[in-house]
Amino acid sequence: MRKIGFLTFTVILSFPLFSQHGIISGPMLGAVEYRDAKIWVEVSKDVKSVSLQYNKKGDKKIYTQEYKGTLGNDFNPVQFTVGHLDYNTTYEYKVLINGKPATPKAEFTTKDLWQWRKSPPEFTFLTGSCSYFNEAAFDRPGIPYGKDSAIFETMAQDKASFMLWLGDNWYSREVDYYSDWGLWYRASRDRSLPVLQNFWKAMPHYAIWDDHDYGPNDIGKHYILKQTSREIWKKYWCNPSYGENEQGIYTMFHWGDVDFFLTDNRWWRSHDKIKDSVNGIPNPEKTMLGAQQMDWLKNSLLYSQARFKIIVMGSQALNPVSPYDKWRKYAVEFEDFLKFLKEYQIDGVLFLTGDRHHSEIIKMDREGTYPLYDITVSPLTSGTHTFGGPEKNNPYRILGIDQLNNYGKITVSGPANDRKLTVEFKGVKGNILGRWTISEKELKTPR
């Protein structure tokens, strides 16, 4: 664009003053499942060895996993996947640098096996997009674009099962766009900022990208360093997977009785200026998700039995009056997907999007079936704007927040067959700016 705790994670100090020697940032908790968990940390160039010690809480038997990858580079992100775990069990861990403890002891709890045994769990997650961190040497002159980063300290204290980043999680600058080293630098530098460190430790993190953490503003499939961006992405985020056939970064994960479909809106994206239609006929050559990803998404939705099926995108999907990025501008792909949802009676679909530098909920009615909703959460720390032009009194908007940095807190609750999803938009200090609730019964195809 222009411009119940189902899982808990607690940091425990082992002694008053803990050495951080060798740690650039982290540790960060990534995807957590029933039998394994991903843990990330970045270390400095002089580090010779990195290992992870962990044990079942209360058990004196300690396991050690050595990092087998290369070290000594300019950028050294390290990932561990701890396996052979028991479900619904708490584990303690710490990172060792050159054989010595380098981080406070921390703990995580694997998912509970509730299916066929219990009611679906209540859980809460945080979400948001557009995180700009000022760096005067490379920023444009004038008023700093990045705003109050203390929002991440608030979020670190806001108890949740996980954080879902909606793109523009860092902002590459002009000096970075066509430099492999610059792209690596941007991810490393922004990840390492002190204001973020407690947040990385507070909960698991999942993410999609948008243009600014993929490359230059509004860039798409023609970006010449897209392979570099994908490599960096795989090193700095611990998602369950990263596309297929070495293409894209799309993936999915489950939490409770909700499925999250994390899409890639850049890898196959035609430039926005490609005509929407040719000779009055929608242009099939203009795509945002691309054939490979669309095939995956459709089949994944058909397979899903989730109460809520949340499609996560960097660009808005439904807003008819937006003058900026939106899936609707890719008419053939968009209309084909709507036809698919209706034909196969896919229930429970919601969109969760970022990018816009304001937050809102857009409702799109559909003849003969339930309406679709697009929940947009933006921005975390980048500049905000005021609703204006055709969006000033958008008739499709049922809730809107402009001119304020904010994040989303989404809770899924209620008994089986009567689940509810509640969205809270929260300010920098955690104050509630708006709230909206929808039930699974409102997202069902009439039969």
H or E element at residue 303? helix 290-303
CATH of residue 33's domain is 2.60.40.10
CATH of residue 157's domain is 3.60.21.70
Distance CA 252, CA 240 (A): 7
- Domain end among 79, 109, 139: 109
- Residue 375, token pair as written in the block: 């929940």
pLDDT at 310: 99
Q: Which residues contact 52 (CB under 8 A, 6 or more apart)?
A: 39, 64, 65, 67, 80, 82, 93, 94, 95, 96
DSSP 328: G
Distance CA 425, CA 405 (A): 10
Q: Side chain identity at 23, as an amino acid letter?
A: I
Peptide bond into 27 cis (omega under 30): yes
In a domain, 400, yes or no: yes
- Residue 260, token pair as written in the block: 């999250």
Q: Answer for the pair 376, 360: CB distance below 8 angstroms, yes or no.
A: yes
Residues 254 and 322 in one domain: yes
- Residue 428, token pair as written in the block: 């920098």
Give the number of other Cβ atoms within 10 Å of residue 435's Cβ. Answer: 12
Nearest to 181 by CA among 132, 232, 224: 232
Distance CA 288, CA 329 (A): 9
Rounded to an integer, what is the distance from CA 12 to the centroid of its chain?
26
Residues 265 and 162 in one domain: yes
Residues 268 and 167 in one domain: yes
Residues 127 and 218 in one domain: yes
Residues 400 and 304 in one domain: yes
H or E element at residue 195? helix 194-202
Q: Side chain identity at 119, as an amino acid letter?
A: S
Rg of the chain over all Cα atoms, to the nearest angstrom: 22
- Domain end among 109, 140, 161: 109
In a domain, 368, yes or no: yes
Distance CA 286, CA 277 (A): 9
Rounded to an integer, what is the distance from CA 241 to the centroid of its chain?
13
Distance CA 173, CA 352 (A): 26
Q: Answer for the pair 181, 175: CB distance below 8 angstroms, yes or no.
A: no
In a domain, 332, yes or no: yes
pLDDT at 14: 32
In a domain, 118, yes or no: no
pLDDT at 277: 87
Pairing state between β 308-313 and 258-262: parallel
In a domain, 116, yes or no: no
Q: How many residues are recorded in the chain?
A: 447
Q: Answer for the pair 192, 25: CB distance below 8 angstroms, yes or no.
A: yes
Give the number of other Cβ atoms within 10 Å of residue 287's Cβ. Answer: 20
Residues 260 and 334 in one domain: yes
The HSE-up count of residue 389 (CA atoms within 13 Å, CB side) is 5
Helix (H, G, I), strand (E, B) or coil at 410: strand
Give the number of other Cβ atoms within 10 Å of residue 344's Cβ. Answer: 12
Residues 205 and 287 in one domain: yes
Residues 63 and 132 in one domain: no
Residues 104 and 146 in one domain: no
- Residue 236, token pair as written in the block: 């700095």
Q: What DSSP line would sit under 70-125, residue for residue? A: ---SS-EEEEEEE-SPPTT-EEEEEEEETTEE-S--EEEEPPP--TTTSPPPPEEE
Q: Which residues contact 235 (CB under 8 A, 6 or more apart)?
A: 75, 77, 79, 187
pLDDT at 1: 52
Residue 291: is it exposed, middle or buried by C-beta count within 10 angstroms (0-12/13-18/19+)? exposed
Residues 224 and 254 in one domain: yes
The boundaries of the domain holding residue 401 are 123-443
In a domain, 70, yes or no: yes
Residues 305 and 404 in one domain: yes
Q: Side chain identity at 20, as an amino acid letter?
A: Q
Pairing state between β 90-97 and 106-109: antiparallel
Residue 177: is it exposed, middle or buried by C-beta count within 10 angstroms (0-12/13-18/19+)? middle
In a domain, 114, yes or no: no
Q: Which residues contact 387 (CB under 8 A, 6 or more apart)?
A: 358, 393, 394, 400, 402
First to last CA, the chain: 39
pLDDT at 20: 57
- Residue 154, token pair as written in the block: 């608030």
Please give the tally of structural domains in the chain. 2
Write out the chain's pLDDT in tens, 447 residues: 544 333 433 333 332 333 357 999 999 999 999 999 999 999 999 999 999 999 999 999 999 999 999 999 999 999 999 999 999 999 999 999 999 999 999 999 999 999 999 999 999 999 999 999 999 999 999 999 999 999 999 999 999 999 999 999 999 999 999 999 999 999 999 999 999 999 999 999 999 999 999 999 999 999 999 999 999 999 999 999 999 999 999 999 999 999 999 999 999 999 999 998 888 888 999 999 999 999 999 999 999 999 999 999 999 999 999 998 899 999 999 999 999 999 999 999 999 999 999 999 999 999 999 999 999 999 999 999 999 999 999 999 999 999 999 999 999 999 999 999 999 999 999 999 999 999 999 999 998
- Residue 116, token pair as written in the block: 């066929």
Q: What is the pTM of this model?
A: 0.95
- Residue 149, token pair as written in the block: 């980063």
pLDDT at 283: 93
Residues 58 and 80 in one domain: yes
